[in-house]
Amino acid sequence: MRPISRRDALILGGLGVAGTAAGAAGLWWSLGSTVGPLGGAGLELRNPPELRSAGGRLQLRLEAARGGLDVGGRRALPMLYNGSLPGPTLRLRAGDELAIRLVNSLAEPTNLHLHGLHVSPQANGDNVFVTVNPGDSFDYSYRLPAGHPPGVYWYHPHHHGLVAGQIFAGLFGAVIVEDPEPINVSAEHVLVVSDTTLDFAGNTAAASPLERMAGREGELVLVNGQSSPLLTARPGERQRWRIINACVARFLRLRMDGQQLDLIGMDSGRSLVPEAVDEVLLAPGNRADLLVTASAGESVLQALPYDRGGMAGMMGQGPSAGRGAAALATFRVSGESAASPGTVAARPAGEDLRTAAEAAHRQLVLAMGAGAGGMGGGMGGMMRFSINGREYSESRTDTIVPAGSVEEWTVVNTSPMDHPFHLHVWPMQLIDSDGRALTSVVMRDVVNVPANGRVTVRIAFRDFTGRSVYHCHILDHEDLGMMGVIEVR
């Protein structure tokens, strides 16, 4: 049980009616329903279809449409890219050109964002200000720089106001930028973790205002659209698992006892040497590049409970409360031992922005507060989600940065809930997280800013100019206004 802080009490006061808050707690409690394998559990993991660049180019048509599909063992009508959940995995190399014709066969507007890729945000590049209306299509074209970091990236819609709903409904897919020198593994799997809630008819359930304020978490937690699929290996085998947190708001505290896990990268780039880990925490939007060295037996890849805080009135019964571990997948290791895969070569150290001349320091304050009219009117009232006191406006540029400069940003969270902070196009180097300075170079494109905490990052605004955005990657919060516009010029 979290005690009510003075700040919570202030927010509670701002809500006007204590009874409303109590009702809210009840609702949130019911969100924390059990998550476990349903029908279809134990089926072999399906890898999404793969499209690979050739001769420096990948061109594809990507259609967003509703389609009938088995989701976690249930008949459902999700939104899909090219009819699959997740959409096709795009495999690219540094220096490649990627051309995507996005076809919108949905009944609402959409667009496309390549999360984490270091590409131009202008024109028909990674431009989130583009709108593709129902029945229309748009030709995107991206060029990865020659030195683009390898890693696990992903794509999803980014039409402000509809992002959470479209991702919750199934619109996401993986992008892999291959290593210059391959790592010796016996198998590679892409595991896109998502969550959703289906209504009785198999449609994606709509989120209530309260669920949106908390950040919606689905009743089903899926891996590649499956409920608790099976992965297999022989003892001694080394596999590479590329794990993407495509959930709208759920944090994934991953753990798999009985197996050796080595993290070789998170978000963009590779670590210098593999790092043995027991747990990996993925905020919404984060990815992990993991080596799994198999030991005989059966293990469960679990998402353990993570407390991401809550709002006043939730009284310790926040979105993450009252919930046990979710079983994401089963890993079965049996048979004859495989030959040793050998060691993984260390990577050369990259640039360390801590030693760079710092051009400017900025502070960004992520805040939640009672909106105009408050919530006194009942459940319809929305809390305000802001950055530096302002809600998102497409026409306003909040932050202007000189091209080529290195900046230090401190992101402050004044709310009682975690906010995973995401910046498009330019990766962030984590400098200090809640008072703990980092000792090594850690690059991220989503950094979690803990409830009432702060994080400092450094960013090199190189290679591209143009307008883009930063926002909370609890996508309900982004849709509700916790997003700002940056222009590099």
Direct distance between the N- and C-terminal alpha carbons of the chain, in angstroms, rounded to an integer = 48
What character string, x for contact with Cu ion (CB under 5 A) and - otherwise, covers 392-431? ---------------------------x----x-------
Q: Does 159 bind Cu ion (CB under 5 A)?
A: no
Q: Does 170 bind ligand C2O (CB under 6 A)?
A: no
Contact partner at residue 189 from ligand C2O, Cu ion, none, CB < 5 to 8 Å by partner kind: none
C-alpha distances out from residue 72 to 14, 137, 305, 331, Å: 41, 30, 21, 18
Q: Does 158 bind ligand C2O (CB under 6 A)?
A: yes
Quick check: bond before 86 cis, omega within 30?
A: yes
Q: Does 444 bind ligand C2O (CB under 6 A)?
A: no
Q: Does 159 bind ligand C2O (CB under 6 A)?
A: no
242, 422, 454, 467: residue in contact with ligand C2O (rule CB under 6 A): 422
Contact partner at residue 419 from Cu ion, ligand C2O, none, CB < 5 to 8 Å by partner kind: Cu ion
- Residue 156: CB minimum distance to ligand C2O, A: 6
Q: How far apart are CA 422 and CA 197, in angstroms?
A: 25
Angle of the 6-15 helix axis to the 18-31 helix axis, nearest 10: 110
Number of residues interacting with Cu ion: please give it, by CB under 5 A.
6
Residue 475 one-letter amino acid: L
Q: How far apart are CA 382 and CA 365, in angstroms?
A: 19
Q: Whose Cβ is closer to ligand C2O: residue 216's or residue 422's? A: 422
Q: Does 285 bind ligand C2O (CB under 6 A)?
A: yes
Q: Does 467 bind ligand C2O (CB under 6 A)?
A: no
Place of tokens 């996005």: 102
- Residue 254: CB minimum distance to ligand C2O, A: 19
> Which 320-349 residues touch ligand C2O, going by CB under 6 A?
none
Burial class (CB in 10 A: 0-12, 13-18, 19+), 348: exposed
Q: Which residue number has the CB closest to ligand C2O? A: 115
Q: For 13, phi and psi rounded to 5 degrees?
A: -60, -40
Nearest to 188 by CA among 330, 48, 329, 84: 48
Q: Does 424 bind ligand C2O (CB under 6 A)?
A: yes
Residue 17 one-letter amino acid: V
- For 58, other C-beta atoms within 10 Å of its C-beta total 20
Q: Whose Cβ is closer to ligand C2O: residue 110's or residue 330's? A: 110
- Residue 471: CB minimum distance to ligand C2O, A: 6
Q: Whose Cβ is closer to Cu ion: residue 270's or residue 477's? A: 477
Q: Where are the beta strands (DSSP E) in 105-163?
A: 113-115, 137-143, 151-156
- Residue 117: CB minimum distance to ligand C2O, A: 11
Q: How far apart are CA 400 and CA 411, in angstroms?
A: 16
Note whether 425 and 452 are within 8 A (CB). no
287, 308, 471, 477: residue in contact with ligand C2O (rule CB under 6 A): 471
Contact partner at residue 212 from Cu ion, ligand C2O, none, CB < 5 to 8 Å by partner kind: none
- 352: tokens are 């360390």
- Residue 476: CB minimum distance to Cu ion, A: 8
Give the 3-state secondary structure percentages of the chain, helix then strand then coil, rounded to 5. 10, 40, 50
Q: Does 270 bind Cu ion (CB under 5 A)?
A: no
C-alpha distances out from residue 195 to 24, 380, 383, Å: 22, 25, 24
What character string, x for contact with Cu ion (CB under 5 A) and - otherwise, covers 107-146? --------x-------------------------------
Give me the sheet containing 326-333, strands edge to edge: 230-233, 326-333, 297-304, 252-255, 279-282
Contact partner at residue 477 from Cu ion, ligand C2O, none, CB < 5 to 8 Å by partner kind: Cu ion
Q: Does 115 bind ligand C2O (CB under 6 A)?
A: yes
Chain positions contacting Cu ion, by CB under 5 A:
115, 419, 424, 472, 474, 477
Chain positions contacting ligand C2O, by CB under 6 A:
113, 115, 156, 158, 285, 422, 424, 471, 473
